[in-house]
Amino acid sequence: MNKLLAFLVSTTFAACAFAADPATAPAPAKSAQQTKMTTCNKEATGKKGDDRKAFMKECLSGNPKVSPAQQAQRDRMKSCNADASAMKGEERKKFMKTCLSKK
């Protein structure tokens, strides 16, 4: 009887030890920062030294480089919004459409 009891106790402890094994536990989901770091590291392959450092700083900051065309569109949008601040409804829609389509 004592041997049976000792066997049951030892198997219970062994089962608990295996259940708590961190190697078999599922990995927690990556945070947004970890995902961004992985992506930036892949894009930075081939870069070294100060070039890599500058690239990683820009990539991880979340401020992607804006092309001149994108910046021009943003500036045009700001200008048109400022001009249309007093307008509402259909009048504003028509004005914004014509203002933004001008080059």
Task: Please give the residue range of the domain that contains residue 101.
Answer: 66-103
Torsion, Cα 27 31 34 39, to 10 degrees, reads: 100
53 inside domain: no
For residue 25 the two structure tokens come to 């536990």
pLDDT tens figures, 35-91: 888 888 888 888 889 988 988 888 888 766 667 888 888 899 999 999 999 999 999
How far apart are the C-alpha atoms of 72 and 28, rounded to whole Å? 42
Separation CA 93–CA 99 (nearest Å):
10
- Domain assignment present for 61: no
Domain total in the chain: 1
98 located within any domain: yes
Answer yes or no: pTM beyond 0.85.
no
Residue 56 belongs to a domain: no
